[in-house]
């Protein structure tokens, strides 16, 4: 996917003016946050499960080579094939090769953020293969020609009216004559159409929430069951997963699953939590004839060896963006690449570079809400700050900002300078306010004053007044204990 | 000095020093009323957060070293700010991974650093203050104080003891006001949007005053309130607890006393 993160300021301006988006955002924000809080309150061991999940992921990441090899062994033993791909290009070519060998003309897909990362849909279309998104949100944005704006609710930025319009426009060729407005009616319309596509598809592509080393199983969670139909109906199932998805055992996956849905949507479990192991066996009633897992590195092993490795614990629950006031103001597309919100602020620079993605860790107040809800206790603000250090090393900020910071640091380290300068600044700002208590504008401050007044200082600094009081009341400054 | 008199070094904070000394004097009053001896080390300027959050680790380390040096001999270090106290308590120790001597000094300092209101409540066990304030207030939970230092119940408990004062909560008290240091000027439209959500929530409570424990938040909220033309006073919680709410509120004209 082509990054647009550098145009962050433009993206933000557009997002803030986008009325349907703002309408969607205000609705969505209170939903997920409230639901998570309720789910957490109902489960006494919620915090303990978070700690266990962190331990499981840290252990897996520290022994990733071992568990990936174990996973491959188990997949092969169950009749599947594992493909190791260093980057997106290799992954795309591998999918194409698998599809060509099997004469695949169309493939259903359940939601896969990795397929967004590697631009799989466009690539398949360019090669004459039709990808059919089956997650309702992904289906909607596929019709709209857009990318997902959230990791679990890809079309959360769309209003019901927009979806009605899209369906009416695109479904007429399937014989739909009425524009539906009701959510159940819209869902049913999509369901009927997708059912035909599910049955006709030659292959199914899914992502993976977990890859289980002990059994070679792939876990996919959905609320619609579209992953099940994608995995089971076509003759070939291709799993797209990055390497950090592997966990040692089924028990490990189960532990993490107990916090995943609760954190994401407030459900105890996603409606369909499916473990798929290899192709169809002789006595299975259904299942694909071929089972392929594409293990993509895609920059993960480099992150693993870096100070950003904690982000690899991420299970893509979306809680961080649900609770982020910045995401809640601008939506997911403004971030300009695959992953939005605090997740994107930490992961995108690691995958597309801090130069391109510099505004993402920059546009944070470090309020810490994301970290407080992350089931994997990823220290998101700390990691964003580390990206800011990298940005500073590469001198990515404009010269005004760099000079300003350097000047401030110089003065702040010298109380002999700082004292008189702060006294002057306090007096000046006070004077300019002319007794009104605030300034509507003053030189160099438009970033602040475009949207706010600047309260005027009281006039004398605290340090000056304190020193004056002490001189007045004591002959010499009292000794320190 | 009696052994029971806590020896406190006051970390004034750069924003209190520059914009609102009243808060510093309120902090001193509260600490002295609670039996402390308060000193103000004269070399302090700033905790270094602006440099830290801009990715300038070297400047941050320099500033941190002078803060540690200036304050380490006190029994307690108290700041009327969750973000500054959080900087000293949570972040300073992480700055010295390759300087073990400084790391130890920073750890020692961190152990005795506190945000003002939580220091009064949790350490000095202050349960009531002698203050009065007629009217209703709503309380904004500044992010660093809330999430780094668990400051939440303490200001509310002490405010409950203020005569004539009613606390009305707003649902989004724990949602960021959009200040975030340089964030508010680097990403001003997002910041303005966030602070507008905050002022809307505050105004909807009907409270006549909004309080918080951090000057950054307060300047941001007061500035937006004023631009939007609302008649809600903005004050630091220390001013109300120290019975100093007769001074003009933040951003209010000099002659206004409400």
**pLDDT of A255 over the 50 cut:** yes
Give the model's pLDDT for residue B256: 57
Residue A276's H or E segment, with its range, is strand A272-276
**Any chain B CB within 8 A of the CB of A394?**
no
Q: What percent of chain A has pLDDT over 90?
A: 92
Give the model's pLDDT for residue A265: 93
| Residue that the structure tokens 């080579």 belong to | A65
Give the model's pLDDT for residue A1: 87
Tokens standing for B176? 């960021």
Q: Which of A330, A364, A408 sits opposite B50 (nearest CB)?
A: A408
Mean pLDDT of B65-84: 98
Tokens standing for A23? 């309408």
| Residue that the structure tokens 């300003």 belong to | A404
CB contact under 8 A, A367 and B180: yes
Interface predicted TM-score (ipTM) = 0.96
Give the gap in angstroms from C-alpha A359 to the nearest C-alpha of chain B. 9
CB contact under 8 A, B188 and A366: no
**pLDDT of A387 over the 60 cut:** yes
Tell me how far apart the alpha carbons of residues B245 and B237 are, in angstroms, rounded to a whole number: 10
Mean pLDDT of A235-260: 98
Distances (CA, A) of B174 to A17, B82, B228: 26, 13, 22
In A425-454, the residues whose Cβ lies within 8 Å of chain B are 425-426, 435-438, 440, 445, 447-448, 450-454
Mean pLDDT of A118-131: 97
Among A65-79, A162-176, A259-273, A461-475, the minimum mean pLDDT is found in A461-475
3-state secondary structure of A222: strand
Q: Are A464 and A423 in contact (CB under 8 A)?
A: yes
3-state helix, strand, coil in chain B (%, to 5): 50, 15, 35
Give the model's pLDDT for residue A366: 98
**Any chain B CB within 8 A of the CB of A460?**
yes
Residue B51's H or E segment, with its range, is helix B49-53
- Confidence label for A393 from pLDDT (cuts 50, 70 and 90): very high
Mean pLDDT of A308-335: 97
Largest CA distance in chain B: 53
**pLDDT of A406 over the 80 cut:** yes
Q: Which of A349, A361, A365 to mutate to test the interface with B (most CBs of B within 10 A)?
A: A365
**pLDDT of A476 over the 60 cut:** no
**pLDDT of A481 over the 60 cut:** no
| Residue that the structure tokens 């200082």 belong to | A457
Tell me how far apart the alpha carbons of residues A392 and A103 are, in angstroms, rounded to a whole number: 51
The string over A154-171, giving b where at least 16 C-beta atoms fall within 10 Å of a residue's C-beta and e elsewhere, is: bbbbbebebbbebbbebb
Question: What's the burial of B149, exposed, middle or buried (CB within 10 Å: 0-12/13-18/19+)?
Answer: buried
- Confidence label for B169 from pLDDT (cuts 50, 70 and 90): very high
CB contact under 8 A, B223 and A454: yes
Q: Angle at which helices A462-473 and A415-432 pack, to 10 degrees?
A: 110
Give the model's pLDDT for residue A28: 72
The string over A52-72, giving b where at least 16 C-beta atoms fall within 10 Å of a residue's C-beta and e elsewhere, is: bbbebbbebbeebeebbebbb
Tokens standing for A49? 């499960």
CB contact under 8 A, A455 and B226: yes
Q: Are A360 and A11 in contact (CB under 8 A)?
A: no
Give the model's pLDDT for residue B185: 94
The edge-to-edge listing of strands for the beta sheet with A130-133 is: A81-85, A290-296, A236-242, A203-206, A106-109, A130-133
Give the model's pLDDT for residue A385: 98
Q: How many CB atoms lie within 10 A of CB B15?
A: 20
Tell me how far apart the alpha carbons of residues A265 and A150 are, in angstroms, rounded to a whole number: 13
Tell me how far apart the alpha carbons of residues A54 and A51 are, in angstroms, rounded to a whole number: 5
Give pLDDT tens digits for A347-382. 999 999 999 999 999 999 999 999 999 999 999 999
Tokens standing for A158? 């769309």
Q: Closest Cα to residue B190, out of A3, A334, A30?
A: A334
Tokens standing for A458? 């009281």
Q: How far is CA B107 from the centre of its chain?
A: 21
Tell me how far apart the alpha carbons of residues A275 and A287 are, in angstroms, rounded to a whole number: 12
Q: Are B29 and B244 in contact (CB under 8 A)?
A: yes
**pLDDT of A306 over the 80 cut:** yes
**Any chain B CB within 8 A of the CB of A326?**
yes
Strands A246-247 and A210-212: parallel
Sign, CA dihedral A423-A429-A431-A437, equals negative
Tally: H helices and E strands in chain B: 13, 8
> Cα-flanking dihedrals φ and ψ of residue A285, to 5°?
-75, -25
Domains of chain A: 43-298 (3.40.50.10420), 415-473 (no CATH)
Give pLDDT tens digits for A415-431. 999 999 999 999 999 99
Contacts of A21 (CB under 8 A, 6+ apart): A15, A157, A331
**pLDDT of A480 over the 50 cut:** no
Q: Which of A389, A405, A438 sits opposite B57 (nearest CB)?
A: A389
Q: What is the DSSP code string of A237-264?
A: EEEEEEGGGEES-HHHHHHHHHHHHHHH
CB contact under 8 A, B190 and A330: yes
Give the gap in angstroms from C-alpha B206 to the nearest C-alpha of chain A. 21
Tokens standing for B96? 């010295």
Q: How far is CA A35 from the centre of its chain?
A: 19
pTM over 0.80: yes
Give the model's pLDDT for residue A475: 55
Q: Closest Cα to residue B92, out of B68, B115, B69?
A: B68
CB contact under 8 A, B252 and A366: no
Q: Are A156 and A28 in contact (CB under 8 A)?
A: yes
Tell me how far apart the alpha carbons of residues B142 and B162 are, in angstroms, rounded to a whole number: 21
Give pLDDT tens digits for A30-45. 789 999 999 999 999 9
| Residue that the structure tokens 């990715």 belong to | B55
**Any chain A CB within 8 A of the CB of B68?**
no
Give pLDDT tens digits for A439-452. 999 888 899 999 99
Tell me how far apart the alpha carbons of residues A48 and A63 are, in angstroms, rounded to a whole number: 23
Give the model's pLDDT for residue A189: 93
Q: Are A225 and A231 in contact (CB under 8 A)?
A: no
Give the model's pLDDT for residue A444: 85
**Any chain B CB within 8 A of the CB of A385?**
yes
Give the model's pLDDT for residue A474: 57
Q: Closest Cα to residue A78, out of A279, A246, A299?
A: A279
Tell me how far apart the alpha carbons of residues A259 and A250 are, in angstroms, rounded to a whole number: 15
Average pLDDT, chain A: 95
Tell me how far apart the alpha carbons of residues A11 and A336 are, in angstroms, rounded to a whole number: 8
Q: Angle at which helices A341-352 and A380-393 pack, to 10 degrees?
A: 40
Give pLDDT tens digits for A69-124. 999 999 999 999 999 999 999 999 999 999 999 999 999 999 999 999 999 999 99
Tell me how far apart the alpha carbons of residues A114 and B220 are, in angstroms, rounded to a whole number: 40
Give the model's pLDDT for residue A478: 47
Closest Cα in chain B to A464: B17
Give the gap in angstroms from C-alpha B10 to the nearest C-alpha of chain A. 11
Give the model's pLDDT for residue B258: 46
Q: What is the CA radius of gyration of chain B?
A: 18
The separation between the first and the last C-alpha atoms of chain B, rounded to the nearest angstrom, is: 40
For A157-247, where are the alpha helices, taking DSSP H only? 160-171, 183-200, 226-232
Tokens standing for B171? 């649902």
Give the gap in angstroms from C-alpha A28 to the nearest C-alpha of chain B. 15
Closest Cα in chain A to B66: A413
CB contact under 8 A, B19 and A391: no
Tokens standing for A80? 């599947």
| Residue that the structure tokens 């009065």 belong to | B132
3-state helix, strand, coil in chain A (%, to 5): 55, 10, 35
Average pLDDT, chain B: 96
Tell me how far apart the alpha carbons of residues A413 and B59 are, in angstroms, rounded to a whole number: 8
Kindly list the domain boundaries of chain B, sorted by start residue.
7-121, 128-241
Give the model's pLDDT for residue A449: 95
Topology adopted by domain B128-241: Rossmann fold (3.40.50)
Give the gap in angstroms from C-alpha B103 to the nearest C-alpha of chain A. 18
Q: B178 to chain A: which residues are within 8 Å by CB?
A: 325, 365
Contacts of A40 (CB under 8 A, 6+ apart): A46, A262
The edge-to-edge listing of strands for the beta sheet with B209-212 is: B163-167, B132-139, B209-212, B233-236
Give the gap in angstroms from C-alpha B93 to the nearest C-alpha of chain A. 14
Give the model's pLDDT for residue A27: 81
């Amino acid at each position: 996917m082509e990054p647009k993160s550098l145009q962050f300021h433009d993206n933000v301006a557009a997002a803030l003016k986008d009325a349907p988006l703002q309408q969607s955002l205000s609705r969505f924000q209170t939903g997920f946050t409230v639901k998570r809080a309720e789910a957490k309150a109902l489960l006494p061991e919620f915090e303990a499960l978070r700690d266990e999940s962190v331990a499981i992921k840290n252990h897996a990441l520290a022994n990733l080579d071992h568990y990936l090899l174990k996973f491959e062994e188990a997949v092969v033993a169950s009749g599947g094939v594992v493909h190791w791909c260093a980057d997106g290009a290799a992954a795309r070519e591998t999918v194409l090769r698998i599809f060509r060998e099997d004469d695949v003309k169309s493939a259903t897909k359940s939601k896969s953020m990795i397929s967004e990362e590697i631009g799989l849909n466009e690539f398949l279309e360019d090669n004459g293969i039709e990808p059919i998104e089956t997650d309702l949100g992904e289906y909607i944005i596929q019709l709209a020609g857009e990318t997902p704006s959230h990791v679990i609710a890809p079309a959360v930025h769309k209003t019901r009216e927009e979806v009605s319009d899209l369906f009416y426009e695109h479904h007429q060729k399937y014989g739909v004559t009425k524009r539906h407005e009701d959510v159940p009616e819209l869902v049913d319309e999509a369901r009927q159409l997708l059912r035909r596509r599910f049955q006709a598809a030659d292959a199914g592509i899914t992502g993976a929430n977990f890859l289980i080393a002990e059994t070679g199983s792939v876990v996919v969670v959905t609320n619609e069951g579209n992953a099940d139909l994608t995995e089971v109906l076509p003759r070939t199932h291709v799993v797209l997963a990055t390497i950090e998805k592997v966990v040692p055992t089924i028990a490990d996956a189960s532990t993490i699953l107990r916090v995943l849905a609760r954190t994401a949507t407030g459900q105890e479990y996603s409606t369909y939590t499916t473990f798929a192991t290899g192709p169809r066996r002789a006595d299975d009633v259904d299942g694909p004839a071929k089972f392929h897992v594409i293990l993509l590195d895609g920059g993960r092993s480099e992150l693993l060896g870096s100070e950003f490795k904690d982000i690899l614990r991420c299970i893509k629950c979306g809680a961080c963006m649900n609770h982020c006031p910045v995401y809640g103001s601008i939506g997911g597309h403004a971030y300009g690449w695959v992953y939005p919100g605090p997740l994107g602020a930490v992961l995108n620079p690691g995958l597309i570079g801090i130069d391109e993605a510099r505004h993402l860790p920059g546009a944070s107040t470090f309020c810490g809400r994301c970290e407080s809800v992350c089931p994997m206790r990823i220290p998101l603000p700390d990691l964003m700050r580390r990206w800011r250090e990298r940005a500073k090393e590469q001198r990515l900020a404009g010269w005004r900002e760099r000079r300003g910071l350097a000047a401030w640091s110089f003065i702040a380290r010298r109380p002999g300078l700082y004292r008189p300068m702060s006294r002057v600044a306090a007096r000046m700002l006070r004077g300019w306010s002319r007794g009104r208590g605030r300034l509507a504008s003053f030189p160099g401050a438009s970033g602040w004053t475009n949207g706010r007044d600047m309260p005027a200082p009281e006039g004398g600094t605290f340090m000056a007044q304190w020193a004056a009081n002490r001189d007045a009341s004591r002959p010499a400054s009292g000794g320190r204990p | 000095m009696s052994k029971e008199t806590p020896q406190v070094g006051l970390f004034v904070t750069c924003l209190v020093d520059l914009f609102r000394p009243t808060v510093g004097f309120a902090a001193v009053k509260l600490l002295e009323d609670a039996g402390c001896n308060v000193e103000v080390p004269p070399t302090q300027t700033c905790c270094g957060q602006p440099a830290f959050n801009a990715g300038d680790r070297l400047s941050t380390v320099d500033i941190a070293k002078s803060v540690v040096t200036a304050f380490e001999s006190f029994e307690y270090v108290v700041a009327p700010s969750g973000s500054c106290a959080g900087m000293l308590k949570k972040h300073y120790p992480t700055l010295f991974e390759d300087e073990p001597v400084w790391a130890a000094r920073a750890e020692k300092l961190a152990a005795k650093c506190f945000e003002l209101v939580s220091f009064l409540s949790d350490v000095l066990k202050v349960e009531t203050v002698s203050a009065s304030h007629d009217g209703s207030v709503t309380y904004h939970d500044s992010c660093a104080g809330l999430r780094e230092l668990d400051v939440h119940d303490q200001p509310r408990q002490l405010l409950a003891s203020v005569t004539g004062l009613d606390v009305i909560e707003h649902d989004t008290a724990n949602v960021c006001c959009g200040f975030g240091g340089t964030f508010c000027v680097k990403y001003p439209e997002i910041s303005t949007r966030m602070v507008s959500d905050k002022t809307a929530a505050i105004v909807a409570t009907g409270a006549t005053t909004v309080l918080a424990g951090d000057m950054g938040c307060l300047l941001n909220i007061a500035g937006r309130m004023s631009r939007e033309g609302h008649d809600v006073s903005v004050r630091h919680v220390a001013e109300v607890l120290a019975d100093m709410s007769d001074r003009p509120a933040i951003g209010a004209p000099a002659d206004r006393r409400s």
